[in-house]
A and B are shown apart, each in its own frame.
Chain A
Amino acid sequence: EAGVAQSPRYKIIEKRQSVAFWCNPISGHATLYWYQQILGQGPKLLIQFQNNGVVDDSQLPKDRFSAERLKGVDSTLKIQPAKLEDSAVYLCASSLSPEADTQYFGPGTRLTVL
């Protein structure tokens, strides 16, 4: 079974530029999560989707971050404009349902903002 796929694996941008990350969850998983992991910290949930609807985006900085999952499968996370403090690893995870107790994580995208 293929795991959660993410791209790109690494991205370096200047501050105030925009960037987008892509995630393809495990086939059949209805729930998709985006996490931000700052160096030296544990991952923090940014947004949770159930199919193509948002379940929880309370921790998403909506003035600069946006995410979508238009067809209920792939998802993109965008940052515009980026700030220095956005440097982090962005992790995508998926699960069968919101109630499922196991989330499967992708390898992450490491973003460096200069």
Chain B
Amino acid sequence: AQSVTQLDSHVSVSEGTPVLLRCNYSSSYSPSLFWYVQHPNKGLQLLLKYTSAATLVKGINGFEAEFKKSETSFHLTKPSAHMSDAAEYFCVVMLTGTASKLTFGTGTRLQVTL
């Protein structure tokens, strides 16, 4: 079975400081991994995805994530937080196939303070 574990339910950072949102995955096969962001009352938006190409993946709004097979991790980072980054972030694993399924983590709420 495939699953993801988001290690922090809530992260608070000051504006201008680095962001680290942690995610570990479990998958019997080579997984595809994603980070989605959800702003209040808005739909989920894809930040970035890993699909077995480069292990360092760059996404939108300055976010990036590194796939580390030895650590089964896919942590999301950003060098400098902005107030607009405050949102809920979901780590997601997908087992590709004829009927691809997304399995979501429980989410990490990012708070950005002045």
Contacts and interface: CB of A to CB of B under 8 A. Distances in A.
Interface of A: 3-4, 40-45, 48, 50, 55-56, 91, 93, 98-108
A59 to B, nearest CB: 10
B107 A107 contact: no
Contacts of B46: 102-104
Given A42-B105, A42-B106, A42-B107, A105 B45 contact: yes
B43 A41 contact: no
16 contacts: A40-B107, A42-B107, A43-B102, A43-B104, A48-B99, A55-B99, A56-B101, A98-B100, A99-B100, A100-B100, A101-B49, A101-B96, A102-B46, A102-B49, A105-B44, A107-B41
A105 B104 CA distance: 14
B51 A101 contact: yes
Nearest to A56: B99
B77 interface: no
